Amino acid sequence: MEISILIVLCLVAFLAGFIDAIVGGGGLIQTPMGLILLPNLPVATIIGTLKIPSFSGTFFAAIQYMKKIQMNWKLLLIMMSLAIPSAFLGSTLLTYVSNDFMKPLLLVVLSLLVFYTYTKKNFGQHANKVHSDFQQIIYAILISFFIGFYDGFIGPGTGSFLVLAFITLLGYDFLQASANAKMVNLATNFGSICLFVYKGKIIWIIAIPMAICNAIGGFIGAKLAISKGNKFIRIFFLIVVIGTLIRFAYDVFMNK
């Protein structure tokens, strides 16, 4: 592989890590660029390889959040333990069937999400935990299973969906949601990596330098999110979700 291609991939990984650390959605940049720059590799190999930098960036972002933001470890341990097998199951299914049939549905969901977040100015600005502990555990189980499976099966926008779930279902504000979502996203990435390592789909000579760059981006992005707070994260959230919406719209209407 040409060194110039690897350099571009590393720059993309840095940007993806930066965006992902703030509000998720780094795969929206990293995955398409990987598919464009590595056209001769099987899709499963590219996706598997890119899971390594995704994991590293999320890991270093999570460390920064853990230093500053209080985590609900009881809930997170439940969610992470369920997210790993859910993502593994989603990635396993991906090796057998296409995920294209899901994209029109996601297009509708994302359109509604953008409209709601934009019009509801106080969305995610303050914590609003109104559920009992039992209700929170039920919601946590559902979030872990469905979004974990989604990450393994489809991928782009997982971090953003986790942030949304933490805000709407568990009552977190944007900063708390971003912090806690990183831990669950770490688990979903790990679940997928287990499958791709088992299948021998990871090219380590590409994955490792990209992982270093993604980690640097994640470190910087998390620090910026912590310092800027909820309003900044809300704006970033809207930008990333709109970008995800455009990506799926292209896949549905143009890339046939």
Distance CA 163, CA 182 (A): 9
| 114, HSE (Cβ side, Cα atoms, 13 Å) | 14
**Model confidence over 145-166: pLDDT tens digits?**
999 998 888 777 788 889 888 9
Please tell me the pTM assigned to this model. Answer: 0.80
CA 218 to each of CA 22, 55, 180, 214, 215: distance values in angstroms, whole numbers, following the listed order: 8, 10, 15, 6, 5
- Residue 71's region, left for phi above 0, alpha for psi from -120 to 50, else beta, is beta
pLDDT band at 134 (very low <50, low <70, confident <90, very high): confident
pLDDT of residue 124: 45
- Most confident among 118-127, 148-157, 177-186, 221-230 (mean pLDDT): 177-186
pLDDT of residue 123: 45
Encoded amino acid at 37, one letter: L
**What's the whole-number mean pLDDT along residues 191-212?**
93
To the nearest whole percent, how much of the chain has pLDDT over 70? 84
> Which one is predicted more confidently, 38 or 1?
38
Distance CA 218, CA 33 (A): 18
pLDDT of residue 128: 60
Placement of tokens 């310092």 in the chain? 227
pLDDT of residue 39: 85
> Which one is predicted more confidently, 10 or 93?
10
Burial 56-82 (b: 16+ CB within 10 A, else e): bbbbbbbebbeeebeebeebbebbbeb
- Residue 172's region, left for phi above 0, alpha for psi from -120 to 50, else beta, is beta
